[in-house]
C-alpha cells in the first residue's frame, strides 16, 4: 500500500484546525503543517495531533503549499486547507485508492458550509477540486488568488466519492472581509495579465453570476444561505471588475 502525506498551510486557525486534523487520522501516513507564525494556539494543536510543524513567513498560497510538500516524506500529497476536513465517504475512498495503487491525480467534490448551512446547490456545489497528487508530477501554480495544480494533459484524473467538507464563513462580516480581499487580488491579477475591463461587465457579470447560481443551479433550494451565497458571489464579481476598471484608469493618468 502506498503512503500519503497530508499537507496543510495555516495562520491562526485554532478554531478549525482540530477538525481538519482529526479527519486525517487513520487515512494518511503523516501530516505536514506549514505555519506562517501563528499567534494563537494553532501550533500547539498541530503538535497534539502529531503533525510535523514547520514555520516560515508568508510567500503566497501556491508557494506555501509547494514548500510544505517538499518537506513531506511521501510523494503522494493530500492538500487541505485548515478549514477543510474529510467526510467519512471520502476517507473510505482515499483508503481504497491507496490499496489499489495510486496513479495520476484525484479529484473530489467540496461541500461548502456558509452561515452554518451546507450548500448542496448553486455555484458552490459540487465545486470539484484536485487535492491528491504526486509531487513529482505536478505543483501548485503561483497565482496570487485561486491557485490551482498545474496538471499536464498526460496525467489521468480520477474521481473520488465523498466530499471535502469546507467550513467557511460563519458571519456576514467575515464573508464580506474575504470578498474584499479576494476581489482585490483577482483584479490585480487580471490587470497584471493585461485583461481589459469594461463598464458593461460591472453590470452584466454580477447579474449573470446571481441568476446562474440562484436560479439555473438551484441555489434557492438551499434557503436563506443559498440566497446569501448567490448574492455574495455576485458582489465579489462586481467588486473585482470595478477594481479592475479603477486600476486601468489610474494607469492612464
Could you report the per-residue pLDDT of 32-81, keeping only the tens digit for each? 999 999 999 999 999 999 999 999 999 999 999 999 999 999 999 999 99
Q: Which helix (H) or strand (E) holds 173?
A: helix 172-192
Please report the pLDDT score of residue 31 as a whole number.
98
Helix (H, G, I), strand (E, B) or coil at 250: helix
Max avg pLDDT among 89-93, 110-114, 201-205? 89-93
Residue 117, pLDDT above cutoff 80 = yes
* Cell 480581499 belongs to residue: 181
Residue 253: band (very low, low, confident or very high) from pLDDT cuts 50, 70, 90? low
**Structure letter (DSSP) for residue 56:** -
Residue 252: band (very low, low, confident or very high) from pLDDT cuts 50, 70, 90? low
For residue 17, the Cα-to-chain-centroid distance in whole angstroms is 14
Residue 147, pLDDT above cutoff 70 = yes
Question: For residue 96, what are the contacts with CB-CB under 8 A and spacing of at least 6?
Answer: none
Max avg pLDDT among 95-109, 114-128, 159-173? 95-109
Residue 196, pLDDT above cutoff 80 = no
Please report the pLDDT score of residue 28 as a whole number.
98
| End-to-end CA gap in the chain | 61
Helix (H, G, I), strand (E, B) or coil at 118: strand
| Spatial contact of 32 and 71, defined as CB atoms under 8 Å apart | yes
C-alpha dist (Å) from residue 234 to 179, 187, 223: 10, 15, 17
Please report the pLDDT score of residue 18 as a whole number.
98
As a dihedral over the C-alpha atoms of residue 154, residue 133, residue 131, residue 83, rounded to 10 degrees, the angle is -160
Please report the pLDDT score of residue 95 as a whole number.
97
* Residues paired with residue 86 on neighbouring β-strands, in sequence order: 164
**221 vs 250: which has the higher pLDDT:** 221
Please report the pLDDT score of residue 221 as a whole number.
96
Domains within the chain, CATH numbers bracketed: 4-167 (3.90.550.10), 172-252 (no CATH)
Q: Compute how many other C-beta atoms are within 10 angstroms of the C-beta atom of residue 39.
A: 9
For residue 5, the Cα-to-chain-centroid distance in whole angstroms is 18
Which range is least confidently modeled, 145-159, 168-182, 233-247? Answer: 168-182
Residue 204, pLDDT above cutoff 90 = yes
| Spatial contact of 241 and 131, defined as CB atoms under 8 Å apart | no
| Spatial contact of 5 and 65, defined as CB atoms under 8 Å apart | no
| Spatial contact of 230 and 217, defined as CB atoms under 8 Å apart | no
The Cα–Cα gap between 130 and 148 comes to: 8
Amino acid at each position: 500500500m502506498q503512503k500519503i502525506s497530508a499537507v496543510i498551510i495555516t495562520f491562526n486557525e485554532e478554531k478549525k484546525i482540530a477538525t481538519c486534523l482529526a479527519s486525517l487520522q487513520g487515512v494518511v501516513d503523516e501530516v505536514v503543517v506549514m505555519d506562517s507564525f501563528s499567534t494563537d494556539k494553532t501550533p500547539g494543536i498541530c503538535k497534539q495531533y502529531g503533525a510535523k510543524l514547520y514555520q516560515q513567513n508568508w510567500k503566497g498560497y501556491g508557494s506555501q503549499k509547494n514548500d510544505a510538500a517538499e518537506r513531506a516524506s511521501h510523494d503522494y500529497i493530500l492538500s487541505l486547507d485548515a478549514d477543510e476536513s474529510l467526510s467519512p465517504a471520502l476517507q473510505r475512498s482515499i483508503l481504497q485508492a491507496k490499496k489499489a495503487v495510486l496513479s495520476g491525480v484525484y479529484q473530489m467534490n467540496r461541500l461548502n458550509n456558509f452561515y452554518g448551512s451546507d450548500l448542496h446547490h448553486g455555484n458552490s456545489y459540487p465545486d470539484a477540486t484536485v487535492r491528491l497528487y504526486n509531487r513529482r508530477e505536478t505543483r501548485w501554480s503561483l497565482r496570487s488568488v485561486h491557485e490551482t495544480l498545474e496538471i499536464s494533459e498526460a496525467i489521468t484524473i480520477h474521481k473520488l466519492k465523498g466530499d471535502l467538507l469546507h467550513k467557511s464563513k460563519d458571519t456576514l462580516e467575515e464573508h464580506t472581509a474575504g470578498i474584499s480581499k479576494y476581489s482585490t487580488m483577482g483584479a490585480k491579477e487580471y490587470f497584471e495579465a493585461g485583461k481589459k475591463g469594461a463598464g458593461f461587465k460591472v453590470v452584466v457579470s454580477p447579474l449573470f453570476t446571481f441568476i446562474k447560481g440562484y436560479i439555473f443551479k438551484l441555489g434557492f433550494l438551499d434557503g436563506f444561505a443559498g440566497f446569501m451565497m448567490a448574492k455574495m458571489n455576485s458582489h465579489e464579481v462586481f467588486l473585482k471588475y470595478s477594481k479592475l476598471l479603477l486600476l486601468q484608469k489610474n494607469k492612464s493618468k
